[in-house]
Chain A
Amino acid sequence: MSRVTLQVNGKQVSVVVEPRTLLVELLRDKLQLTGTHVGCDTSHCGACVVHVGGRSVKSCTMLAVEADGATVTTIEGLAQGGKLHPMQESFHQHHALQCGFCTPGMIMSAIELVETRPHADEHETREWLEGNFCRCTGYHNIVKAILSCRDAMREKSA
């Protein structure tokens, strides 16, 4: 067994896990943060995307022990003081989800895009979503929501 100490959504946590425990298992089973989903066995679907050290990663393809000392943000950590994150708000506004299974991963992935590539156009946005599968929406409203959130964030910083 190994002890893992990390910061999750602003809180310091320390848990003992088997070395084979995946980060997503630590989040869902040990910390009850079930907003992060598991949609596949093959590292393809992106339902499990969280931020580790500010970068998006597939939490099903990272060992929990590798997150020792890291700062992790999940979908549960986005809203501040009862107010949705602008990306969550934008997904809501643009009806960017149907069943909602892919949404947590989509949003975590989209936030890294607007933070690291604020000038990404529609094409680049679609390419960025390469690792996030959605079985329901056809991606159209997801892309609309991301571009609209990007514009709003740009206006705010201008």
Chain B
Amino acid sequence: MRDFQFHRPSTVAEALHLLRQASAGKLLGGGQSLLPVLKLDMAEPSDLVSLSGVTELRGIRTEGNQLIIGAFTTHAEVAASAEVRAKIPSLARLADGIGDPQVRNRGTLGGSLAHADPAADYPAAVLGLSATVHTDRRTVPADRFFTGLFETALEPDEILTAVRFTIPQRAAYAKFASHASRYAVVGVMVAQYPGGVRVGVTGAGPSAFRWTAAESALTARFAPESLAGLTYPADDLTSTPEATADYRAHLLPIMTKRAVQTALG
């Protein structure tokens, strides 16, 4: 790993300033994606600006029908939070299924979303749970946040500060996990709202997406049978040695059905 200057500011404003001063600055969240990348010399930042001292980026609270989670909240904190378990239990369970206990103790919501791994779990929740992503300067709706493979709407010097999830009537996340890494081969968050059903999908394609055909079918009737005969074109999906596009297309309706079944209890 190449050496760098290390900074640990205590406010977002200070972090932004440090990031802009650096010739090639990068934010450090829990380090669970960035450190493996740095160890392989796949990135060589001049400066790392750690968010671990920025207390305003932590914490979980409810405001009306929204659950707000700070960017520097760890997966373990989300999984254990009484507030999350009461308001959106499926989100607590999703967080509890990320990687392993040690990854969950360090990895953060903001880091996961900014990294935008195509197989990460949280992107399905952001899309399925009708979230908005808050940054130091603006609000980005879920549908405009994920823009491609490891690509998001964030500017290089933009700090993700919090995510507002809309509390659903009911929801569930079903993931077919990679046997090696626990990342999602296909992960589906299904959420029912008074205005309709949302289906957020991760793992299947180069970036997370909503399965709108399944949303219409489930809005008409929220039952596993509503998905009968529904398929997703494999052409748009990812092929890896672990799972071909055809296999992912096969898994997508199955995981969606499982999520609906779980949501119905």
Interface set of A (CB-CB < 8 Å, partner B): 2, 18-20, 22, 41-44, 46, 49, 55-58, 61-63, 65-66, 68, 109, 112-113, 128, 130-132
Contacts and interface: CB of A to CB of B under 8 A. Distances in A.
B50 interface: yes
A20 B106 contact: no
A98 B31 CA distance: 32
Given A19-B3, A61-B36, A66-B50, A56 B102 contact: yes
Contacts of A46: 100, 102
A18 B101 contact: no
Contacts of A19: 3-6, 48
B105 A61 contact: no
Given A43-B32, A62-B35, A63-B31, A20 B2 contact: yes
Given A19-B4, A61-B36, A62-B35, A131 B99 contact: yes
Size range of the interface on B? 20 to 34
B99 A130 contact: yes
B87 interface: no
B1 interface: yes
A2 B28 CA distance: 17
B39 interface: yes
Given A18-B3, A46-B102, 17 more contacts: A2-B6, A19-B3, A20-B2, A43-B35, A43-B103, A46-B100, A49-B102, A56-B101, A57-B106, A58-B102, A61-B102, A62-B31, A62-B106, A63-B35, A130-B100, A130-B182, A131-B103
Contacts of A63: 6, 28, 31, 35, 48, 50
B25 to A, nearest CB: 13
B35 A55 contact: no
A61 B5 contact: no
B139 interface: no
Contacts, number: 74
A61 B2 contact: no
Nearest to A1: B3
A66 B182 contact: no
User: Which 9 residue pairs are nearest across A and B when measured between Cβ atoms?
Assistant: A131-B100, A19-B6, A130-B100, A55-B105, A20-B3, A58-B102, A20-B1, A131-B102, A61-B35
Interface string B74-110: 0010000000000000000000000111110110000
A2 B38 CA distance: 19
A79 B52 CA distance: 31
B92 to A, nearest CB: 14
Nearest to B36: A43
Given A128-B101, A131-B101, A20 B4 contact: yes
Contacts of A112: 101
A57 B52 contact: no
Contacts of A55: 76, 105
A109 B102 contact: yes
B101 A130 contact: yes
Contacts of A68: 8
Nearest to B96: A127
A56 B4 CA distance: 26
